[in-house]
Structure 1
Amino acid sequence: MNRTEYELYFKTIGSKGFRVVYWDKETSDYGVGDCKFTINFKKNPSDLFIKEQNLRKIIEENFEEILDIEGNPEEICSVFGFSKEIDNFKAIKKQILLCIAEFLMNVRKERQKKEVQSHYDLGNDFFSLWLDDTMTYSCAYFKDPNMSLRDAQIEKINHTLKKLNLKKDERLLDIGSGWGLLIVKAAQDYGVKSMGITLSEEQFKATKDLIKRLGLEDRVQVRLMNYLDLDENQLQFDKIVSVGMFEHVGKENLEKYFDKVNKLLVNKGLSLLHTINLPEVSEEDSFSAWLKKYIFPGGYIPELKELISILPKYDFHLMHLESLRMNYALTLDKWYENFSSHTKEIEEKFGRQFARRWGFYLKGCANAFRTSGLDVHQLLFSKGLNNDMPLTFEYIYK
């Protein structure tokens, strides 16, 4: 992590002058007037913040290794707005690190929101040109290669919901709920109470309209927020699903996703993660780098083994794993065909370069799924041991 976010934080602190010596020995002065105190970083806190879920615990255990301070405690408390009752450097160091950690987390959440919106908030009119009328923007499920895209997308939703073994009045959370079809069908077909979470304002508005149009306000809701901000003390779910969202969380947040699912899921509850993955992550993959630059800023496609290795840390037990690789290739073929039939319209609205990039993205991804080892899997896992599931998975494929 570079110093930019830390500098942004310190520029917002107080008006009195103070100095910060960073871990790379670079020095910056902040505030106005003579420096009243100096903050010395012995190491980059982000090296710890990124890896740890419990920030308070990691700060308690490592603050002396991260930070040192020289100056008057009263001046420091005055600049940072701390209580005057804090009169020792030990407590001040901890408090400063907690403030920095909270600021960095908020900055990253805001950045993730902007990255997601830069893709999904191109407009419902744009996506409706080449998605089917269900507005489902993830891998479809083709029981027959000649199925229409719409039928295959509905089949994917049905296939996903079947795996969760839903029961009437259970609580279902969809992290990254898109345009809302899954949470709506879950309520209609299984009688569950479902909630969708999205960072896209366009998807949020469309889902709200869909719920109202179908008269499902008493059983279905959608929230415009980061899933990490859900309060597990107020909300618990029997089943949690995420389809096509995990690619956006970023490498540093993989474990944070599973940690949050763990906190929100009841004991013996089920979760299904539907995500693209690679057999091996390569920094030299030019196509992935191109996608990250032009189509999915901030995205990261994990290795399958990365995901599976995280599960035991949260007492998650993998119950079913299914590859939908060729299904995604067929889905992208259909999208590209639809996209190509509206190229002129897209060029008029977004420009020729945009249309060419998106066409290359759709065609290139279809080819990658067929030839490169790029894959998409559905991972079904339970929190703790669940002995109440059917003995076989025949129920999914009936």
Structure 2
Amino acid sequence: MADAAPRLTALVEQVLGVRTPVRIRAWDNSEAGPPGAPTLVVRHRRALRRLLWKPSELGLARAWVAGEIEIEGDLYEALDLLAGLIWERDDDAPRPKPAVLLDAGRELLSLGGPWPPPAPPREEARRHLGPLHSLRRDRHAISHHYDVGNEFYQLVLGPSMVYSCAYWDGPEATLEDAQAAKLDLICRKLALRPGQRLLDVGCGWGALVLHAAREYGVRALGITLSEEQAAYARKRVADEGLTDRIEIRVQDYRELRPGVEGAYDAVSSIGMAEHVGSAQYAEYATALYDLLKPGGRLLNHQIARRPERNEETYEIDEFIDRYVFPDGELAPVGRTVLQLEEAGFEVRDVEALREHYALTLRQWVTNLEADWKRAVRLTSPGRARVWKLYMAASALAFERNRIGVNQVLAVRASEGGAAGMPPVAREWRG
């Protein structure tokens, strides 16, 4: 009998005590669930073995990356409906009794077929390459995420090759307009002037240092741990004839020495601090402080999570950690501000850009879907699926205020406490 979908629907409702919010179609062509809702297609029973082995979002993610489950209909709507089952379960909600879980395990085993579960898809990051946030392990983590092909990133990000939240200042703005607006906003917040020295930590494919040198006349050093990013950025610099003003290095911020480098007038860190880790953040903040001249400004652009009621129980998202940003960590914005202040900075401005990142991610997903076959050829089917799920789910997370992103402007005050900041007017506002 073709009964897998009704049995799966009943299983969800038995364990979680709620109606299944999406329709389910199983490998035996059976269907169950609310008519007209997005459909979760379980293409292979192997997906159930993954769930039995990892009954969490990691099991679902592995099945998604392997192509064993799919969504028919609006992906955002489906993820929103499933969020209540996966991400937004109330900590105080009743837990299923052990007998119920045991029965559910038997049913999954019956539906899923022979044990053991298949190996994780090859796109999953390898683990345990030295101590957490050692130089070697961080380089490997960055390579996993960024060294997947510059052509793939260009397909997703567009010509700007900017991989951080854009700044949408009008309903008619394109992604390119919004990214250019973001780059200029950063330069204005840093009050860049001709002849100054800018350090861009985590420079990506070089967009910010190019904009700052071209439009504001600065001399810039951009550092990244990605070999592919550095090669791409150096070519862009050469093509624009700015090699006399811009240097790109493959280098960790911990390898910069203030006494050797000299002091910088401004430091930017855009979408990089998420890789630092909570245990290293004080060192990160102090390193940037030491690299600035008195009166120099820092612009720290960083994704933040909502605070937990009990921070000691906070757990890193397994899908993001295994497939997207290995060893990455998010912190509440208040903790970020506190640690920058503890390093000696005076925080002068915090701007939340949460809605801007949701718009940016939706545009990146549109770009990916519009050239899907080429994206698969440039990477792999699994890698393209990782990026689609990660970006769509992240867009919803920003829209639902589960995460945010903030630009924190801070200054290393001069002797006597002078910050060199306008007392009222903000010169970065157009």
TM-score over 0.5 for the pair: yes
Distance change (3 Å), C-alpha of 1:106 and 1:370: closer
What's the counterpart of residue 71 of structure 1?
A: none
Aligned to 2:322: 293
Deviations 1:222-242 (A, max 9, x none): 111111101111121011011
Aligned-CA RMSD value: 1.9
Q: Whole-Å Cα distance in 1 between the matches of residues 378 and 284 of structure 2?
A: 36
Q: Which amino acid aligns with 2:342?
A: K
1:153-177 deviation line (CA, Å, top 9, x unaligned)? 0110001110001122111100000
Equivalent in the alignment of 1:279: 306
- In structure 1, the residue matched to 2:289 is 262
| Per-residue CA distance 1:87-134 (angstroms, 9 max, x = gap) | xxxxxxxxxxxxxxxxx8898101101100111010101101111101
Flag as ranges the 4+ runs of structure 1 deviating above 4 A.
Answer: 104-107, 281-287
Distance 1:258 1:181, change over 3 A: same
CA distance in 2: counterparts of 1:343 and 1:287, whole angstroms: 29
Give the distance between the partners of 2:132 and 2:176, measured in 1 at CA: 38
Secondary structure at 2:402 match in 1: coil
Letter in 1 for 2:256: L
> TM-score w.r.t. structure 1 length?
0.71
SS at match of 2:428: helix
**Under a length normalisation based on structure 2, what TM-score does the superposition of the two structures give?**
0.66
Q: Show the counterpart of 1:368.
A: 397
2:152·2:375 contact (CA, 8 Å) conserved in 1? yes
RCO higher in structure (CA 8 A, sep ≥6): 2
Whole-angstrom distance in 2 between the partners of 1:222 and 1:109: 19
1:364 alignment partner, SS class = helix
Question: CA 1:107 to 1:141, structure 2 compared with 1: closer, same or farther past 3 Å?
Answer: closer
- Say if 2:384 is the partner of 1:352: no
- The equivalent position to 1:131 in structure 2, one of 137, 150, 157, is 157
Unpaired segments ≥5 residues, structure 2: 1-129
1:394 aligns with 2:426: yes
CA 288–108 in structure 1, closer or farther in 2 if over 3 Å, else same: same
In structure 2, the partner of 1:29 is none
Instruction: Output the amino acid matched with 1:251.
Output: S
For residues 3-35 of structure 1, give each alpha carbon's deviation from its aligned partner in whole angstroms, at most 9, with x where no partner exists.
Answer: xxxxxxxxxxxxxxxxxxxxxxxxxxxxxxxxx
Q: How much identity, in percent, do the aligned residues show?
A: 33
Distance 1:366 1:195, change over 3 A: same
List runs of 5+ in structure 1 lacking aligned partners: 1-103
Q: Does 1:251 align with 2:278?
A: yes
Q: Does 2:358 match 1:329? A: yes
Structure with the largest fraction of strand: 1
The corresponding residue for 2:225 is 199
Contact 2:282-2:343 within 8 A present in 1 as well:
no
Residue correspondence of structure 1 range 124-203 to structure 2 within 5 A: 124-203=150-229
Write out aligned runs for 1:219-234 (5 A): 219-234=245-260
Deviation, structure 1 residue 211: 1.1
Q: Distance in 2 between matches of 1:167 and 1:346?
A: 40
- Tell me which residue corresponds to 1:122: 148
Q: Give yes or no for the alignment of 1:318 onto 2:343.
A: no
Total equivalences in the alignment: 295
Task: Give the distance between the partners of 1:109 and 1:118, measured in 2 at CA.
Answer: 14
Q: 1:343 to 1:168 in 2, by over 3 A?
A: same
